């Protein structure tokens, strides 16, 4: 599959809109979790930890990590789509833009409200961009590539990756908390719920659009790179 693969068939405009709206919302939702201050999603923990150590913004770190992960696709013979490359840049840019606009909040009640909003928006974003079927996110592609290469289950591979990511991010200073746990429990069901709501008519699949191959599907797919276990994985 080339980067331009899937850019044909019916509903192309809708698919492109879903892709970029979903990726932007993913970055926005991740930024809201940062402002909530109650724990980030697994990859967000790593991004924040690296940002703390390097002095770079968390969005720039997200872009850098996404690019490095994408390079890891080469030895495991994964092929990117438009959504894959877009994921690397759009999520990080949207995240930094949101952090520049949304100030730190005071009070536990405000933090809880922002955390819940961030998790729900993340689920909606995952459903939007996965349903576009324009390629999995870098982190999800890594998961499915290792699954294919090792023969281990998607659940095991994803769990191992995310435990390693959270542990490394925590050691570097990333935020782990109730938000991290709640995200892990809710993102799969939320992604699956929204994926069904934003699904493109199946007739379009015959046009050559790539299947939702992961990011959360595996769970749902590809959540930008998210769900701890398969859903129907996302992005972000």
Decide if 63 contacts 99 (C-beta within 8 A). Answer: no
Q: State the Cα–Cα distance between residues 104 and 132, nearest whole angstrom.
A: 33
**For residue 154, what pLDDT is reported?**
81
Distances (CA, A) of 124 to 170, 193, 196, 223: 26, 8, 10, 10
The DSSP code for 214 is: S
Q: How crowded is residue 29: how many other Cβ atoms within 10 Å of its Cβ?
A: 28
The DSSP code for 215 is: B
Numbers of helices and strands, H then E, in the chain: 8, 0
Q: How crowded is residue 170: how many other Cβ atoms within 10 Å of its Cβ?
A: 16
Decide if 195 contacts 227 (C-beta within 8 A). Answer: no
Q: State the Cα–Cα distance between residues 36 and 134, nearest whole angstrom.
A: 31
What's the rounded mean pLDDT across residues 209-214? 39
Q: What is the CA radius of gyration of the chain?
A: 16
| Local confidence band at 16 (pLDDT 50, 70, 90 cut-offs) | very high
Distances (CA, A) of 14 to 6, 7, 46: 13, 11, 33
The DSSP code for 222 is: B
**For residue 49, what pLDDT is reported?**
96
Say whether pLDDT at 207 is over 80.
Answer: no
Burial of 100 (0-12, 13-18, 19+ CB in 10 A): exposed
DSSP β-bridge partners for residue 222: 215
What is the tens place of the pLDDT at every residue in 116-156?
999 999 999 999 998 888 988 898 888 888 988 898 888 88
Residue 159 has which token pair? Answer: 């769990």
Which segment of 166-175, 184-193, 197-206 scores lowest on mean pLDDT? Answer: 197-206
Angle at 164 between CA 160 and CA 166, to 5 degrees: 115
Residue 170 has which token pair? Answer: 């925590």
| Local confidence band at 182 (pLDDT 50, 70, 90 cut-offs) | very high
What is the tens place of the pLDDT at every residue in 65-122?
999 999 999 988 888 899 999 999 999 999 999 999 999 888 899 999 999 999 999 9
Residue 186 has which token pair? Answer: 């809710």
Decide if 221 contacts 84 (C-beta within 8 A). Answer: no
What is the tens place of the pLDDT at every residue in 18-66?
999 999 999 999 999 999 999 999 999 999 999 999 999 999 999 999 9
**For residue 203, what pLDDT is reported?**
55
Say whether pLDDT at 217 is over 70.
Answer: no
């Amino acid at each position: 599959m080339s980067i331009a693969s899937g850019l044909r068939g019916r509903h192309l405009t809708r698919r492109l809109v879903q892709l970029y709206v979903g990726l932007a919302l993913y970055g926005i939702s991740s930024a809201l979790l940062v402002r909530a201050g109650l724990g980030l999603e697994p990859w967000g923990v790593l991004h924040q930890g690296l940002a703390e150590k390097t002095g770079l913004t968390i969005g720039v770190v997200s872009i850098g990590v996404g690019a490095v992960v994408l390079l890891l696709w080469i030895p495991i013979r994964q092929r990117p789509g438009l959504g894959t490359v877009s994921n690397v840049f759009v999520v990080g840019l949207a995240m930094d833009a949101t952090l520049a606009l949304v100030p730190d909040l005071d009070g536990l009640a405000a933090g809880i409200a922002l955390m819940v909003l961030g998790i729900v928006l993340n689920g909606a974003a995952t459903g939007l961009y996965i349903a576009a079927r324009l390629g999995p996110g870098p982190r999800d592609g890594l998961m499915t590539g290792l699954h294919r290469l090792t023969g281990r289950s998607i659940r095991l591979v994803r769990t191992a990756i995310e435990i390693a990511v959270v542990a490394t991010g925590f050691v570097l200073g990333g935020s782990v908390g109730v938000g991290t746990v709640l995200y892990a429990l809710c993102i799969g069901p939320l992604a699956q719920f929204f994926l069904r709501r934003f699904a493109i008519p199946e007739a379009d699949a015959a046009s050559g659009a790539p299947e939702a191959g992961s990011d959360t599907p595996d769970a749902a797919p590809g959540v930008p790179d998210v769900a701890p276990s398969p859903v129907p994985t996302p992005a972000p």
